[in-house]
A and B are shown apart, each in its own frame.
Chain A
Amino acid sequence: MKPAIELRSAVKRFGGVTAVDNVSLTIGDGEFFSLLGPSGCGKTTTLRMIAGFEFPDAGDILLHGTSIGTTPPHQRRVNTVFQSYALFPHMTVAGNIGFGLEMQRIAPTERERRVREALELVRLADYGERWPRQLSGGQQQRVALARALINRPEVLLLDEPLGALDQKLRKEMQLELKRMQERVGITFIFVTHDQEEALSMSDRIAVMHHGRVLQIGTPTAIYERPNCRFVADFIGDTNFLDGRITASHAGHAVITTDDGLVITGASDRSLTIGSTATVSLRPEKARLTIDVPPGDIANCFATTVDRVDYIGSDTRMLVRIGSERTVSVWEQNNRSTLDRDAYWQPGEAGYLWWPAENGLVLAE
């Protein structure tokens, strides 16, 4: 089976700015694939090239093996759910949803049947005769989805479709989108700047920055094994402990920071001794205890607690190592609700520690 979408060294420039810089991607059939990155990273331009609203300046785009790099949008079997929904204000909900079929000159009876099916799919069966402006944001979003899906596209493109919804509705729609994708089995390419959304919904994620793809992988791979500082920083929260490599052996590397901390972390590459590197340590992967942990722990430092933020499910602490360095560490509040003494107080002393494989050494 040919991949649903293949980008081969696609480049898009606007004036002097390279919005998409030599991007190559292969997206499998039926995959839920996310393009994730901060605004201006080129994710939307990449999506618009797949939709046909922009043509690549170099490179090519293939849809199930056929080049569509210069095919106009109306001849691509690809449909888009727009960020602003872009519903036609002068057409009813049914008119909007049936528009694609009308353009394909599908017979009216067949069209009506499929519009009814699509309305049921997005749970808006009784809304066919309404006007778009009579619907709530969430309902408009579902109309936009039905309008795209009714054409049975080979690939569905979604441009931050949940961006305009409030938090609660957003979570609901995330679930609904995911369920729908599993049901219709169509490849979804989803653009978002919301890393949590990307992590929870995607089969795979491409993290983009400055027009380039930095890393492609499953949500776990992206979060647990980021391949560079930007990805580690953009996805989730992390501490960076900068220093120079002082030892490097199978699966591990040791770095020494300017203030003299010696930290061992996981590394899947062998790194040059003396080169600058950083250890990315996620706040939930370190532990804070009053006593020295038992056994041989690779990284263990005496600390004092600087700040404590209780946020319900977690307690988030900023602890100090030495005089200058602070590290963020999160502790899950999984103790008894009555055990009030169990929480850390600012000023308390303790030990911050984590096994070598809980921190990741990234070359600069």
Chain B
Amino acid sequence: MARQAPDAGGLLLRLHTGATLVFLYAPIVVLVVFSFTSDSFGVRWTGFTLQWYERLFRDERLIGATLNTLLVATISTVIATVIGTMLAFAMERYRFRGRTGLEALLYVPIVIPEIVMALALLGFFALAFGLIDAWFGVRPVMGLATVIIAHVAFTISFVVVVVRTSLKSFDLRLEEAAADLGADPWQTFRHITLPLILPGIIGGALLGFTLSLDDFIITFFTTGPGTSLLPVEVYGQVKRAITPKINALSTLMLVASITLVFLSQFVQRRGRTA
């Protein structure tokens, strides 16, 4: 088909599209560009440098916070994925009393404001710690463990939603066929069900991981003194002074999350074709 010269409407449409893309991506591009500027306030381009990356790797607080964040995200994702997958099976495969109620409850963490969830968790920990103190005489303190518990609590719902989607499209006759061919329930799960819904589980896990990684509000409320996690730490540093070090850190996180997304798509596509 011959390309036509755009009319006024077409021109407007292109302009609109271009403006939207600039609006969405310009801040990110600026962020990445200024991670390489030699200007120490990171607001002007004064020449190329890698010094902010260098300084980033020498900043033990930031590195420590990053490791903590990765640790929290990994542990909470594993726990949330296992529990969430089991929940998804229960919801999808069985009819039981209170199933509708549970269904509604599961969606609550997704829809309520995060600050409410954060305050609720804070209240819960205060109450739980008080009870533990009263019964056992030890008072636990807020720290990595409480952050992990909090993250598990708010990511489970997301895992359930994603895993249920892949369970819905699963053909139950395949499980009957496996049983018919001599596979016991565990073998059926391991050889048939799990491999076929694995892309969904990985999708749910990656979503949970990403949510945990950059969560600020819940983390802020459930962490304790001396335990720093990346979003909170970055917030603290930015409050004092914005340096291109933060830009460098953001750029690295951007690269890492893009890699993760591509990886998950790759895994899911393989899951479909294999």
Residues facing A in B166-209 (CB within 8 A) are 171, 173-174, 176-184, 187-188, 191-192, 195-196
CB-CB under 8 A from A148, the residues of chain B are: 180-181
Is B179 in contact with A52, judged by CB distance below 8 angstroms?
A: yes
Contacts of A147 in B (CB 8 A): 181
In the complex, what distance in Å separates the CA atom of A51 from the CA atom of B178? 12
| Chain A residue contacts of B173, Cβ below 8 A | 82, 84, 86
Q: Are B183 and A88 in contact (CB under 8 A)?
A: no
**B195 pairs with A53, CB closer than 8 A:** no
Question: Which of chain B's residues have a CB closer than 8 A to the CB of A86?
Answer: 171, 173-174, 176-177
**Given A84-B173, A88-B174, A90-B274, are A73 and B180 also a contact pair (CB < 8 Å)?**
yes
In the assembled complex, A13 has its CB within 8 A of some CB on chain B? no
Kindly provide the distance from the CB of A53 to the nearest chain B CB, expressed in whole angstroms: 6
Q: Which residues of B contact A53 (CB under 8 A)?
A: 176, 179-180
CA distance A320 to B34 in the complex (A): 97
Cβ of B41 to closest chain A Cβ, rounded Å? 54
Binary per-residue interface labels of chain A (86-108) against chain B in the complex, 1 for a CB within 8 Å, 0 otherwise: 11111000000001100110000
A51 in contact with B180 (CB, 8 Å): yes
Per the bound structure, the CA–CA distance linking A79 and B178 in Å amounts to: 10
Please give, as numbers and ranges, the residues of chain B lying within 8 Å of A178 by CB-CB distance: none
A53 to B182, CA, bound (A): 13
Q: Which residues of A contact B184 (CB under 8 A)?
A: 72, 74
* A79 in contact with B180 (CB, 8 Å): yes
Q: Does A151 contact B (CB under 8 A)?
A: yes
Task: Specify the main secondary structure of chain B where it touches its partner.
Answer: helix
Which residues of A from 92 to 129 have beta carbons under 8 Å from B?
99-100, 103-104
- Known interface pairs A103-B187, A104-B182. Does A73 touch B196 (Cβ–Cβ under 8 Å)? no
Q: Please give, as numbers and ranges, the residues of chain A lying within 8 Å of B274 by CB-CB distance.
A: 90
Q: Residue A358 at the B interface, CB < 8 A?
A: no
Given the interface contacts A88-B192, A90-B195, A90-B196, does A100 sit within 8 Å of B174 by beta carbon? no
Question: A227: CB under 8 A from chain B?
Answer: no
Measured CB to CB, the closest approach of chain A to B177, in angstroms, equals 4
B93 to A: closest C-beta gap in Å: 15
Q: Which of A53, A79, A84, A103 has the most CB of B within 10 A?
A: A103
Contact A82 B177, CB 8 Å, known A90-B196, A90-B274, A103-B187: yes
Q: Are B179 and A74 in contact (CB under 8 A)?
A: yes
In the complex, whether A80 has a CB less than 8 A from a CB of chain B is yes
Most buried by B among A74, A79, A104: A74
The answer for the CA separation of A84 and B180 in the assembled complex, in Å, is: 15
- How many whole Å from B138's CB to the nearest CB in chain A? 48
Residues of A within 8 Å of B177, CB to CB, are 80, 82, 86-88
Residues of chain B within 8 A of A151, CB atoms compared: 181-182
A91 to chain B, nearest CB (A): 9
Residues of A within 8 A of B182 (CB): 74, 100, 103-104, 151
Q: How far is the CB of B170 from chain A (nearest CB, A)?
A: 11
Residues on A with beta carbons closer than 8 Å to the beta carbon of B187: 103
| Contact present for B174 and A73 (CB under 8 Å) | no
Q: Closest residue of chain B to A76, judged by CB?
A: B180
Q: Which residues of B contact A82 (CB under 8 A)?
A: 173, 176-177
Would you call A72 and B179 a contact (CB within 8 A)?
A: yes
A109 to B236, CA, bound (A): 64
A51 and B180 CA atoms in complex are apart in Å by 7
Give the residues from 226 to 274 in chain B that come closer than 8 angstroms, CB to CB, to chain A: 271, 274
A64-B189 Cα distance, complex, nearest whole Å: 30
Give every chain B residue within 8 A of A89 (Cβ-Cβ).
196
A99–B175 alpha-carbon span in the complex (Å): 13
The answer for the CA separation of A55 and B24 in the assembled complex, in Å, is 59
Closest chain A CB from B109 CB (angstroms): 32
How many Å from the CB of A55 to the closest CB on chain B? 13
Closest to A103 in B: B182
CB pair B192 A80 closer than 8 Å: no
Contact partner, A73, options B176, B191, B195, Cβ 8 Å: B176
Query: For the complex, what is the distance from the CA of A88 to the CA of B192, rounded to whole Å?
Result: 7
Considering only CB atoms, which chain B residue lies closest to A84 in the complex? Answer: B173
Residue of B nearest to A79 (CB): B180
Residue in B closest to A78 when the chains form the complex, CB atoms? B180
> Do B179 and A73 have beta carbons less than 8 Å apart?
yes
Quick check: A74 and B183 within 8 Å, CB to CB? Answer: yes
Contact with A along B152-175 (1 / 0, CB 8 A): 000000000000000000010110
Chain A residues within 8 Å of B180, by CB: 51-53, 73-74, 78-80, 148
Shortest CB distance A82–B (Å): 6
> Which chain B residues numbered 118 to 177 have a C-beta less than 8 Å away from chain A?
171, 173-174, 176-177
B residues less than 8 Å from A79 (CB atoms) = 180-181
CA distance A80 to B180 in the complex (A): 7
Q: In the assembly, what is the distance between CA of A80 and CA of B187, in Å? A: 18
* Chain B interface residues toward A at CB < 8 A: 171, 173-174, 176-184, 187-188, 191-192, 195-196, 271, 274
Name the 3 nearest CB pairs between A and B, nearest first. Answer: A100-B181, A86-B177, A103-B182
Could you write out 5 A-B pairs with CB less than 8 Å apart?
A51-B180, A52-B180, A74-B182, A82-B173, A147-B181
